[in-house]
Chain A
């Protein structure tokens, strides 16, 4: 059974970089059928797609986040990471990692497995 688990600091200071890791167990990141993504949810609000990554290194990012976001996969192919720079209070949210089942069209798909999420608060 596939499991995803987010980890990282729960508190980040404004202007610093948010860094989270998603550990994948029960499956390999190295499958052409899947992308691996990050989605966030501010407290009491809706879902925002941050970006997705394919094991071959191809990435898609939400333009609303500009150049602040980087998603990468580690060489062990069991973890992928999110970095979000220059954070502000607007970046306070529960951050989810999830598996995206590809439709066969680059980067397009739906999220069929999710981690439990981790709350990141941006505050000094």
Chain B
């Protein structure tokens, strides 16, 4: 199984400041035949299901604000929220879809400082 490890477990950021979440996979999720990272990010607000934010490591899902961006390749990935808004308070999860079983990170809780 590919183990996904997020850091930090939680962070508190002031409104308007940058939030950075990291995710490391135990093996590369870069598929050589198409040169794509089989990796995504989700946002889960309290009492709601997860919502897909980023797919293929860096492609925002339709309707996701451009303050959310994804980067990285291979085994190391980053989700950046520039200019944190109050509505961004949530738990963020990474997911690999390179191999079965599909696996998620343990989650990173983002709060307002």
Stretch in A25-33, A46-54, A74-82 with 4+ CB within 8 Å of B = A46-54
CB distance from B47 to the nearest CB of A (A): 9
Q: Is A96 an interface residue (CB 8 A)?
A: yes
Chain B, 68-113, CB within 8 A of any chain A CB: 93, 95, 97-107
Number of interface residues of A (CB under 8 A): 23
Given contacts A47-B50, A103-B38, contact A108 B97 (CB under 8 A): yes
- List the B side residues contacting A96 at CB < 8 Å: 49-50
Taken residue by residue from 58 to 100, chain A's Cβ proximity to chain B (1 for < 8 Å, 0 otherwise) reads as 0010111000000000000000000000000000000010100
A-B contact count (CB 8 A): 56
Number of interface residues of B (CB under 8 A): 25
Q: Is B55 an interface residue (CB 8 A)?
A: yes
Q: Point out residues on B near A: beta carbons under 8 Å.
A: 1, 31, 38, 40, 42, 48-52, 55, 61, 93, 95, 97-107
Is A116 within 8 A of B49, CB to CB? yes
- List the A side residues contacting B40 at CB < 8 Å: 110
In the complex, what distance in Å separates the CA atom of A49 from the CA atom of B97? 11
- List the B side residues contacting A48 at CB < 8 Å: 104
In the complex, what distance in Å separates the CA atom of A108 from the CA atom of B38? 8
Supplied contacts A48-B104, A110-B40, A110-B95, 13 more A-B pairs, CB within 8 Å: A46-B104, A46-B106, A47-B95, A49-B102, A49-B104, A60-B100, A108-B38, A108-B97, A109-B97, A110-B55, A112-B55, A114-B49, A115-B49
